[in-house]
Structure 1
Amino acid sequence: MKLALYVTKLTAVRVLAALVVLLSVLQLLDLLDVTNDILDRGLGAGGLIWYATLRLPRMIDQAMPLAVLAGCLFAFAQLGRESAAVAMRAAGISVYRIAGMALPVAMGAFIIQLAATEVIGPRTDAMLRTWWRDTAPAADRKGPETRSFRVGPDLVTATIGDDLGRRLEKVIIYRRDQGGAVTERLQAPEAVYGPTGWTLISPSFERFTDDSAQPGSATRMAWANPLEPGDVQVLFATDNNGSASSARRALMGGGSERPESYYAVRWNRAFAAPAGAFVMLILAAPLVAANFRSGQGATIMTASLMSGLAFMVLDGLITALGESGVVWPWLGAWTAPMMFAALGTSVLLTLEG
């Protein structure tokens, strides 16, 4: 029990140290782009700190996998240099068990990255957008942009009317049949979300048949659709990172402006991306079985580091292919994690066997 606690603590401290260093570098590079804008707005050092705080969840998402890899490599290298790994193996403790002692660290990294990406990140992104817009000079402020998106089979063009996503302006709705042909066009200066759903204010419409168009108008008209205010906020966000829940809502017809494959991959990536912490642990695990006296440790450490970097590059590439629909969504999200987890496991089995 004490031995497992020692390895876990050793790994956790080094992963945390690597995460702090990586976050510092990423924050510094990010601040270099916005420092002049923040200072020109008269926000001072407080503005810089607040900006960095709101950007932190997204930085954690970027830095966590590499921090786990670096921290595990440093921890396992220390065990090897001090011959602690050799002593543990001589006592009958397998390499798999030694590497497994760092599993709680990978689990903690998984939970932190998942929370930062899916729970905290969407909220801080919204806060950052609002703060950045409200502190902009009056001359630089821009009105809301018009967006086009899908709601079920309908095509919609509109402008967001408030920050809560409960009001749309300059609404144009194109309703289509199962074959994709436009059957009706509705226009309304405003659409409001209430307890019963969306209501079009002073709409006018044209219903199309094979040989004619029938115009009409109304004072109010119910607009039945699964679109919710939260979907509107995501659709009109400038960064539009969204979350797994918003991707799931888009797949259910709650409003989308990208291919269905993008949202399917985004849903899978909510769990596949944080799972990269376990992949990095597996890639670092062969270092436990290395012979540092013969120089094997340096070779395996370099190979593990290069494998981790290759995993991050290939993971991003295959994810992009999945989002564009070139490969199946679950393949786009999970191929790289499964491939490199198998690679690390095979190397570990070879060294141990």
Structure 2
Amino acid sequence: MRFARYLSVMLVKLAIVATLILAFIAEVLDLVDNAGDIVDAGEGVSGILLYAGLRMPILLVHAMPLGTLIGALLTLALFARNSEISAMRSAGRGVFNIYLMMLPGALVLVILHSTLIDVVAPRAQSKLAIQITQRLENRQEGMRDTKITRLRVGDDIITFDRVSDRGRRLKEVRVYDRGPDKIVTARTTAREARWRDGKWTLSGAEKISWTRDTLSQKTPADGVWTTTMTPDDVLGALSPESRISLDSARKVLAGQQTPNAPLPFYETLVERVYAMPLGLIVMVLLAMPAALLNWRDVRSTRHMAFALLAGLGFLLTDGLLTTLGLTGVVRPTIGAWSGVAAFAVIGAFRIWRIDAGWKPARRGRPPVGLPAEAGA
């Protein structure tokens, strides 16, 4: 029990350190691209620090699977170097027993990852979107922002040029009404849309209809704008790599919140909230062949290389299948879980082969003219 705690604590420490290093590297690269815009907006060093702090949670979400793999490999390598793995195997404990002793540490990492995915990252992304709107607000009023933001609300497409007041005020709004066949039937243009008392109000608005009965007929459209879009949806559209919490995704599927993407996106997202953290356990499982590392035998490094390649292959395959699920190419359950399940089987099979013993190498055939005993 004491040794299991020692293994788990070492795994958690090294995995967190590796995750932080990877996240800081990604943070530096991200600031290289965005620090200039922040400084041009007049926010200075404080604005850069605020941006870096708000971006860090989402970077940690992406870095933690690889950080867990690296942490597990380093843990096993350190124990192998101190001959602790050899002592454990001499006492009759196999690689699977070592994995079970590291499992509590992996579960701690799963809890941390789940908290980042569903609690910390969505809130940080929301505040980041507010910072972006404030940056737009601080620009000169006469300067037109050429970047157009688009989002889908139900079947309709909404675009706007500028945002202020934390998503409660939109400039140059265009609403494209679409029928069940996805064909545009009308377009509404408005100089401004403001959010007051839980509803949108359009000013300087005009609607043009393209149906057969009212082709190209223009009518004033000032007044209340009936839509399920909220300022939070506007902020979500502005935020790069926006993450949606499990609660928000469930509200969309229940029809209580505006969908900004196809429904398979939200269905896959709900599944990934559970599947993605469990991928950390799979990462530790794939790293276990590194327990065969022997610092006196260079050939044993192939076990470390196999573990590293298997972990990278899992990241690539899982990301590809998740993308297919988000876009509706495959079923959400398949996209979210198949990568985790497949590589869990691969990792378990690898451990079973290690504990069961490898097949002995085939003996070479004796040279011609020599008896079998002599060639043996």
Q: Normalized against structure 1, the TM-score is what?
A: 0.80
Note the aligned Cα RMSD (angstroms): 3.7
- Aligned counterpart in structure 2 of residue 275 of structure 1, from 262, 273, 278: 278
Amino acid of the residue matched to residue 268 of structure 2?
Answer: V
Report the counterpart of residue 107 of structure 1 in structure 2: 107
Report the counterpart of residue 9 of structure 1 in structure 2: 9
Distance change in 2, residues 1:65/1:181 (3 Å): closer
Distance change in 2, residues 1:142/1:265 (3 Å): farther
Distance change in 2, residues 1:153/1:244 (3 Å): same
Cα deviation 1:284-305 (Å, max 9, x = unaligned): 1233366776666422111101
Amino acid of the residue matched to residue 240 of structure 2?
Answer: D
SS at match of 2:164: coil
Matches within 5 A, 1:163-312: 163-195=165-197, 197-201=199-203, 204-205=206-207, 210-213=212-215, 216-217=219-220, 220-221=223-224, 223=226, 225-235=227-237, 237-245=238-246, 246-248=248-250, 252=255, 254-256=257-259, 258-288=261-291, 297-312=300-315
CA separation in 2, counterparts of 1:29 and 1:185? 41
Cα deviation 1:221-253 (Å, max 9, x = unaligned): 451x43222112112x15142324455555548
- Aligned counterpart in structure 1 of residue 331 of structure 2, from 328, 342, 352: 328
Distance change in 2, residues 1:38/1:240 (3 Å): closer
| Contact 2:125–2:243 (CA under 8 A) maintained in structure 1 | no
Matches within 5 A, 1:55-204: 55-128=55-128, 130-131=130-131, 138=139, 143=145, 145-159=147-161, 161-195=163-197, 197-201=199-203, 204=206
| Contact 2:8–2:104 (CA under 8 A) maintained in structure 1 | yes
| Contact 2:11–2:75 (CA under 8 A) maintained in structure 1 | yes
Amino acid of the residue matched to residue 323 of structure 1?
Answer: L
| Contact 1:243–1:270 (CA under 8 A) maintained in structure 2 | no
| Contact 1:157–1:171 (CA under 8 A) maintained in structure 2 | yes
CA separation in 1, counterparts of 2:203 and 2:41? 39
Report the counterpart of residue 371 of structure 2 in structure 1: none
In percent, how many aligned pairs have the same letter?
A: 32
Distance change in 2, residues 1:202/1:52 (3 Å): closer
SS at match of 1:156: strand
CA separation in 2, counterparts of 1:42 and 1:200? 31
Question: Unaligned stretches of 5+ in structure 2?
Answer: 357-376
Which of 1 and 2 has greater Rg?
Answer: 2
Report the counterpart of residue 52 of structure 2 in structure 1: 52
Shift of 1:280: 0.8
Cα deviation 1:100-144 (Å, max 9, x = unaligned): 222232222223233333322333334445546756995797638
Amino acid of the residue matched to residue 15 of structure 1?
Answer: A
Indicate the larger mover: 113-122 or 137-146. 137-146
Q: Normalized against structure 2, the TM-score is what?
A: 0.76
Indicate the larger mover: 302-311 or 268-277. 268-277
Shift of 1:163: 4.0
| Contact 2:12–2:109 (CA under 8 A) maintained in structure 1 | no
SS at match of 2:213: coil
Shift of 1:202: 6.5
Amino acid of the residue matched to residue 3 of structure 1?
Answer: F
Report the counterpart of residue 21 of structure 2 in structure 1: 21
| Contact 1:227–1:253 (CA under 8 A) maintained in structure 2 | no
CA separation in 2, counterparts of 1:296 and 1:311? 24
